[in-house]
Structure 1
Amino acid sequence: MAWSWTYENADGDTVGTSETFDARGDAESWIGEEYPDLLDDGVAQVRLLEDGKEVYGPMSLSPE
């Protein structure tokens, strides 16, 4: 299985994707570490994908 994140701006437009991870836990750990940089780059929310299918989201990156 391949896990990845889709990045979206505040309007819900896709603005990028992450690298691919072999395990869901690895993908979730990665987003936990990287979200401040993604916020700085204008990413407002993300969606987790498994083999290209949405597992959950949108998930806000805002700390509030």
Structure 2
Amino acid sequence: MALRPQWEWRLADPAGPVQRPVSPVFANRYDAEQWLGEHWRALAGQGVTSAQLLNEGAAVGPAVALRAA
């Protein structure tokens, strides 16, 4: 049985969704949130300003703003 991807981040800059960088796909919400917690500074450094968590393509909660301090 293959693992069906469920959780990923839609990354955006001020102009809208970005093609790169891309979020990995995760089997559970915990792993997705942990990944963002570990990588948000690098993403912000690449121009990403927000991240929206998706579950099977549907938005979950508000987008998270990414701002390097």
**Coarse TM-score class (shorter-chain normalised):** 0.7 to 0.9
CA radius of gyration, larger in: 2
Q: Which runs of 5+ in 1 are unaligned?
A: none
Counterpart amino acid of residue 40 in structure 2: Y
Alignment counterpart, residue 48 of structure 2, candidates 43, 48, 53? 43
Percent identity, aligned pairs only, is 32
Length-normalised TM-score, structure 1: 0.87
Secondary structure at 1:57's aligned position in 2? coil
User: Residue in 2 aligned with 1:22?
Assistant: 27
C-alpha root-mean-square deviation of aligned residues, in Å? 1.6
User: Residue in 2 aligned with 1:54?
Assistant: 59
- Please report how far the alpha carbon of residue 53 of structure 1 lies from its aligned counterpart in structure 2 after TM superposition: 0.6
CA distance in 2, matches of 1:42, 1:63: 10
Q: Which runs of 5+ in 2 are unaligned?
A: none
Length-normalised TM-score, structure 2: 0.81
Secondary structure at 1:32's aligned position in 2? helix
